[in-house]
Amino acid sequence: MDIIFSSFALQELLDAEEYYNFELAGLGNRFNEEIKKAVLRIAEYPDAWSIERDNIRKCLLQKFPYKILYAIEKDCILILAIAHLHRKPDYWIDQT
């Protein structure tokens, strides 16, 4: 199934990667790899993760305090947010 990132989710991914690389050289690259692994798992088993709200599911990353919020559409999986777990809850809702 195709994976599509919303512009908001893509910007969050790029911002987090840049932040982590600023904190420690290469850490942003590891963050990006963790995202890629999680997205591949979502693509393979889209119904495996719990529902966060309505039809939006969440996949928690294993090594970083982030979750991927996504919706299963008819012909794709739409990544809505790459949400930091310590931010204000549901901040991402107005962006979707």
Domains of the chain with bracketed CATH: 2-86 (3.30.2310.20)
- Give 4-51 pLDDT, tens digit per residue: 999 999 999 999 999 999 999 999 999 999 999 999 999 999 999 999
pLDDT value of position 31: 98
Both tokens of 94, joined, read 């107005």
Distance CA 33, CA 56 (A): 23
pTM score of the predicted model:
0.91
pLDDT tier for residue 92 given thresholds of 50, 70 and 90: confident
Q: Count CB-CB contacts under 10 A for residue 31.
A: 22
Distance CA 54, CA 13 (A): 23
